[in-house]
Amino acid sequence: MGQILKMRNVGKMKALWQPWRKSKSPPSLPDGTLTATPQTPSPTTTHCPPIFHHHSSPSDVILRLYFDPPSPSSHEDLELSLHSDVLRRSNHFSTLLSDRWQNPDSSSSGGEGFRLNLGISSSRYVSFDYHIKVLHLLYTNDFDESIDSVSTALSIIHIALELLFEECVKACVRFIEAVAWTREEELQVLDVIHLLKEEESRELRARVCVEKEECTDKMFLYMIGAALGGSRDSKKWKSCERQRLLVESFMRDFAQKGSIKFVFSKVFGNRLSLLQTLFKQYFESLHDKASVSLHILGVLKQLMWLVERVIELRVANDVARMNLVKNWLPFLIGCNDKVVPKKESDKSLYPDLEQAFLKIISTLPISDSMEFLRQCLSFSTDELKDCPHLVSTLKTWFLRATHPSMYNYSCFKVRLELEMYHPTSFLMSA
């Protein structure tokens, strides 16, 4: 990448192109023919087929293509007979052929013209085909026919950048902009973008790079909104099950957790404001309590899904988790007393929400969780077996509170294991 950027700097080109040492000149060619012949023909050498283009003058530039560094699989060096007036369409060649770059060694005697070397990276290319194609485009301008795939465009554009062949660069960019890419091709496009001028890469950057971070947040808001569906209509909630599965899967794999945190915070705040409004409506005689109750239950379903995602993705720190419980727990307790689910499918909503909140409370510091657990005592039922999540959370809290020292960690661990596997033993020891 650095080498290509250097080659676009006209002031540093001479170091990359050395005049070729004098050697036996290639066979004479009829006017109008652009050909490639091997430097040292042999019976086993494959000759490069001629490239034809009508031209009014004989060739006056000999260009040698060679692989650098050489590799066992590399082809033999090739000589290309070219025309200087055509090569000057490339700013790179134009500079090399200008007076200030000429020296006694840059052209051979006998009127053969200029001799130049072009080293080709053996790690990027396995043949001279793409370089010959770019040189051919200097003659033909046949970009539409020559650039027929993303892989071809990506291979050609690197050579065009090296040769400062601006028309070819623009043609490759136009093709890449207009077609879909595979994931592998997109990674290569990202590499190319850094080599392009700002105006050349503007459309490509807009396709793959977000100039403003809020675009990601907005997209997540749209996705979560689709997953939550409507809070008034239970049928709509069921119909959004596929969207929820999609969003859940995507969020698990999404690396930018900071954006997810921000979006969840915004969605929680929105739903909290909605619930506050619904509670106000519930206690006003002007509103239908049955309709408002259904709406409240719908919001609580959304809350349940959101809380599950927070727990699963672990995207909330201590402060966020504490604020979540502090803001929502009073509403959960109030709804439990006032809004009773009538559908059988909704009967487990409150126990599930209670369990989710108790899980979050158990992640907080002992002093903070104590206040919240005091409020959660309203989760208790006539039978202790009907509120196992509350009993379990209280036991864990007392174990932590009675063994706060890290020096007693081993004892705490043993007692915790007794609680998990031998609850009777724990009660007896307590």
Domain layout of the chain by residue ranges: 2-208, 222-376, 380-430
Q: Which residues pair with 63 in a beta bridge?
A: 80, 116
- Topology, domain 2-208: Potassium Channel Kv1.1; Chain A (3.30.710)
- How far apart CA 149 and CA 129 sit, in angstroms, is 15
CB 353 within 8 Å of CB 303: yes
- Taking CA atoms, 411 is separated from 72, 259, 260, 366, 369, in Å, by 68, 41, 39, 18, 22
The SS3 of residue 21 is: coil
CB 316 within 8 Å of CB 310: yes
pLDDT at 31 over 80: no
Q: What is the pTM of this model?
A: 0.54
At residue 41, the pLDDT reads 40
Residue 98 tokens read as 């200008």
Query: pLDDT class for 55, splitting at 50, 70, 90?
Result: low
User: Percentage of the chain surpassing pLDDT 70?
Assistant: 72
DSSP 324-354: HHHHHHHHHHHHHHH----SGGGTTHHHHHH
Q: Kindly report, residue by residue over 280-308, the tens digit of the pLDDT.
A: 888 776 667 788 888 888 888 888 898 88
Q: Kindly report, residue by residue over 229-273, the tens digit of the pLDDT.
A: 866 666 677 788 888 999 888 888 876 777 788 888 888 888 888
Quote the mean pLDDT of the chain. 75
